[in-house]
Amino acid sequence: MRKRSLSLFAMGLTLPALLPVISCSSHSADPAEESASVPSASVARVQRGDISHMLSLAGQFQPYQVVDVHPKVSGFMKKINVDIGDKVRKGEVLAVLEVPELQAQLEASAFDMAQARAEITRAQHEIRRAEAVHAAEHLNYQRLLDTSKAQPGLVAQQELDDAQSKDLSSASQVDAAKAAADAAQQHAESAHANNEREQAIQDYTHVVAPIDGVVVWRYADTGALIQSGTNSNQQDLPIVRLAQSTLLRLRMPVPEDDVQYIHEGDTIRIRIDALSRSITGKIVRFTRNVNFETRTMETEVDVDNRDLSIAPGMYANARLAMASVHDVLTLPVEALVIHGSQQMVYVVDAQNRVRIRPVVVGLQASKLAEVKSGLEEGDRVIVGGQDKYSDGEQVTSVLVPSQASEEQKESGGVIDMKADDSNGGAQ
């Protein structure tokens, strides 16, 4: 009985000592439970950076002009002065043709012109002779007439009529001589024109370069019969093909979706892998027409090639900045949420509470978007899973590193090899 009393007494002493411990354990468990109930959220900071859209295009260099040089007369090749690869200047003689009948025709026209000049000389002498005869006849008639008036009946009327008839006849001879002189002059002009035509045809036997360029192909050899290029016969081969390679056209196919960004004068960066060389050019022209098959628009950049270091037909990779913004607020695209027609972001404020804000977005790339209004630099925005959070909710933010700038690259279309067959057939 006594032992039981001691046990109860001991328990009575132990319970007061355990109560504070139990109380402390119960109180310390509340913060842990509270921390476990606050959700975490991945956030990124709004930063300043650049966003740009870069279009990568595969282009091909082509001569600025390609000319098939045909002669203007048919003949045999007497001499050809150039071969493939030769550089020529405008007006330089490329070849000489031999047309035997042309020389005879030229000599005949020269003789006809000399004969016409002789006719003119003879007609001028005839005019002076006729005028002298007319002057004498007119003076004789005038003298007889004056005498007849002074002394009527002294000069017979028959004699007076004969003198008058000779005067009028000599005047007619003067007019006839002048008409013959005019005819001789016209004949001379016709002979001169014919001689110039024959001389021009003779000059056409010397085939000259119409442009500065490079001979990219030669079609004729010495002794070959060459047909003139003055008709529409497509089977007649030219003598040579010239390419103006000191100035090249870089042709690039721009996809239909990117046509809106193409403007004359836009700067474009060009990389020529075959030469390990990079250059900068400007867009100078484009077709303003989208190809129905490739859905691309041909665009051209003029490239100076006075040293002929770039061979026509080489490929180049070009990069064109279609749209870009610099030093603007940017945020990850994953932070944007569309509510109806409005774009929203979930911002975590300084008290780690979620605040839903509308924003206005500008240029957008694959990972970043430009913020025009609604946010400030340094704001934390939730990226991903925004539907799990509500406005005003307490969260634990977990900062996720994100880039501030982005250059989005796009690839262009394929080169239309049929766009210029003339260059492709030159070799």
User: Could you read off the pLDDT of 226-284 as tens digits, one per residue?
Assistant: 888 766 556 678 999 999 999 999 999 998 888 888 889 988 999 999 999 999 999 99
Residues 94 and 106 in one domain: no
Q: Are 250 and 270 in contact (CB under 8 A)?
A: yes
CA torsion sign, 374 to 380 to 386 to 392? negative
One-letter identity of residue 184? A
> Which pLDDT tens digit goes with each residue over 9-34?
344 444 444 444 334 444 444 544 55
Among the listed residues 120, 240, 131, the one whose alpha carbon sits nearest the alpha carbon of residue 175: 131
Q: Which domain holds residue 355?
A: 40-49+328-408
Residue 279 belongs to a domain: yes
Q: At 263, which CATH number? A: 2.40.30.170
Residue with tokens 């490239």: 303
Question: Does residue 125 lie within any of the structural domains?
Answer: yes
Residues found in the chain: 427
Each of the 427 residues of the chain gets a pLDDT tens digit; together they read 344 443 433 444 444 444 443 344 444 445 445 555 789 999 999 999 999 888 888 999 999 999 999 998 888 999 999 999 999 999 999 999 988 888 778 788 888 888 888 988 998 899 999 899 989 988 988 888 888 888 887 778 888 888 888 889 888 998 998 998 899 889 888 888 888 888 888 888 899 999 999 999 999 999 988 888 766 556 678 999 999 999 999 999 998 888 888 889 988 999 999 999 999 999 999 999 999 998 999 999 999 999 999 999 999 999 888 888 999 999 999 999 998 889 999 999 999 999 999 999 999 888 999 999 999 999 999 998 999 999 999 999 999 999 999 988 877 655 554 444 444 333 3
Do both 134 and 190 map to the same domain?
Answer: yes
pLDDT at 227: 86
- d(Cα 108, Cα 114) in Å, to the nearest integer? 10
The pLDDT value given to residue 423: 40
Domain shared by 166 and 78, yes or no: no
Give the whole-angstrom CA distance, residue 387 versus residue 373.
23
Residues 315 and 373 in one domain: no
| CATH value at residue 336 | 2.40.420.20
**Cα separation, 357 vs 341, whole angstroms:** 14
* CB atoms near residue 422 (< 10 Å): 15
* Statement to judge: residues 301 and 417 lie in one domain: yes
Could you give the CA distance from residue 357 to residue 337 in angstroms, rounded to a whole number? 10
Question: Could you tell me where the beta strands, DSSP code E, fall in 46-148?
Answer: 47-69, 75-80, 87-88, 93-98
